[in-house]
Amino acid sequence: ICWSEHGGWHRPRVQPYGPIALDPAAAVLHYAQEIFEGLKAYRHADGSVWSFRPEANAARMQRSAKRLALPELPTEYFIDSLKQLLAVDADWVPSAPETSLYLRPFMFAKEAFLGVRAAKKVNYYVIASPAGAYFTGGVAPVSIWLSTDYARAGKGGTGAAKTGGNYASSLLAQQEAAENGCAQVLFLDSAEGKYVEELGGMNVVLVYKDGTLVTPKSDSILEGITRDSILDLARDRGHKVEERRVSIDEWREGVASGDIVEMFACGTAAVVTPISQIKGAEFTIGSADAEAGPLTMSLREELTDIQYGRREDTRGWMVRLDA
C-alpha cells in the first residue's frame, strides 16, 4: 500500500515477490525512517489459518509510526493486508507441528530527497516466510551474553519503537554474543548500565521462589505481545506479576541465593525459551547445564496450545485470516 501526504493510503495490491526499485536518494536509505512488525500465521487441525493478536501488532505499529514521524496505518488495513496476502495461497502456511508462516509487515520512507525531514511518500509492504524453531536445539535452554560495552537505546530515543535503527545498534553486540557462544545479547539501560532492559530480539521474565513473575519496566524496550500474553496467562493462574525495574545485581544475587528459580526469554520468534545462564565479561549468572523451568515450559505449552488451536481461546486472541 502507498501513502502520500495528499492522497493518504492508496493502491493496495498483492504482487509477486521480487526486488523493490528505490531511488538512491530514498529517505529510508539515509535516515532510516522505517518501522516493522513480526507475527505469525498458524494452521489449525481443521486446516483453517489464524493469527495471534494482530490488533496488538497493528497498535504497536501505530505507536512506532508516531515515533518515526511516519503515517499511521489503520488497524483494519493492517489486518486486511495479512488476509489479502493469504488469499493468494493459504497453503503457504505450513502444517507440520510447531511450524508457522512468519509475517513481516514493514513501512518505509520512499520519497527521494537529501534534506533531513519526514518523508511525504511512504510504502507499506508485507512479506511472508515459513518458520520453524528460532533457536536451533528447539526449546533447549539458551545462554545469553551480557553486553557491557553497548546499549541498545537511550532515554527519549526510539527504543520502544520497532524500527531498524534499534537493531542496527544491536548488531555488533549480537556478534559479540555469538563469539562468546551465546544465542542472544542482554542489554542494560544506557544511563546507569545497571537495569535489565531486554535481549536483542526478545523480552525477559524472571520467576521468583514465591511464584511471582517479574519483567523489566523501561521506556526504551519493545513491549512484546508475547510477554503481555504470557503474563496474562500467569495472572489467570493466580501468579503475582510485577513490571518493575530489575537491576543486574538483583538478578545475579537472586539466582545465587535461590530466590529466582526460573528465567526465560519470550517473543514471537522465540515463543518462550528458557535461559540457562547469563555470561558476562566479569561474572556468570546460572549455569550452562541448567534445565528448563517447569513454569516456563507449562506457560509455553499453554500459549502454543492457544495459537495452534489445541486449547480454547477464551480471550479472543486468535483472528482468522483465511475467511
231 is an interface residue for ligand PMP by CB under 6 A: no
Nearest residue to 273 via CA among 172, 143, 150? 143
Residue partners of 42: CB distance under 8 A and separation at least 6: 49, 50, 51, 52, 93, 100, 307, 308, 309
- Residue 314, judged by CB atoms within 10 A of its CB (0-12, 13-18, 19+), counts as exposed
Nearest residue to 145 via CA among 116, 172, 101, 180? 180
Among 34, 198, 262, 302, binds ligand PMP (CB under 6 A): 198
201 is an interface residue for ligand PMP by CB under 6 A: yes
Is 158 or 268 the residue whose CB approaches ligand PMP more closely?
268
203 is an interface residue for ligand PMP by CB under 6 A: yes
* Contact positions with ligand PMP (CB under 6 A) in 16-55: 38
Among 268, 276, 277, 307, binds ligand PMP (CB under 6 A): 268
CA-CA distances (angstroms) from residue 231 to 50, 107, 166?
A: 22, 29, 25
d(C-alpha 119, C-alpha 221), whole Å: 25
Among 144, 188, 225, 260, binds ligand PMP (CB under 6 A): 225
Residue given cell 489467570 in the structure block: 236
226 is an interface residue for ligand PMP by CB under 6 A: yes
Nearest residue to 166 via CA among 204, 117, 221? 221
47 φ/ψ sector (left φ>0, alpha ψ -120 to 50, else beta): left
Among 164, 267, 274, 286, binds ligand PMP (CB under 6 A): 267
Shortest separation between residue 268's beta carbon and ligand PMP, angstroms: 3
* Segment contacting ligand PMP by CB under 6 A, of 15-23, 26-34, 112-120, 195-203: 195-203
Nearest residue to 230 via CA among 195, 254, 266? 266
Is 219 or 259 the residue whose CB approaches ligand PMP more closely?
219
202 is an interface residue for ligand PMP by CB under 6 A: yes
On the CB side of 306, CA atoms within 13 Å amount to: 20
Binding characters for ligand PMP, 152-191, by CB under 6 A (x = yes): ----------------------------------------
Shortest separation between residue 199's beta carbon and ligand PMP, angstroms: 7
Q: Minimal CB distance to ligand PMP: which residue?
A: 224
- Residue 38, judged by CB atoms within 10 A of its CB (0-12, 13-18, 19+), counts as middle
Shortest separation between residue 152's beta carbon and ligand PMP, angstroms: 7
Shortest separation between residue 292's beta carbon and ligand PMP, angstroms: 19
What residues line the site for ligand PMP (CB under 6 A)?
Answer: 38, 198, 201-203, 222, 224-227, 267-268
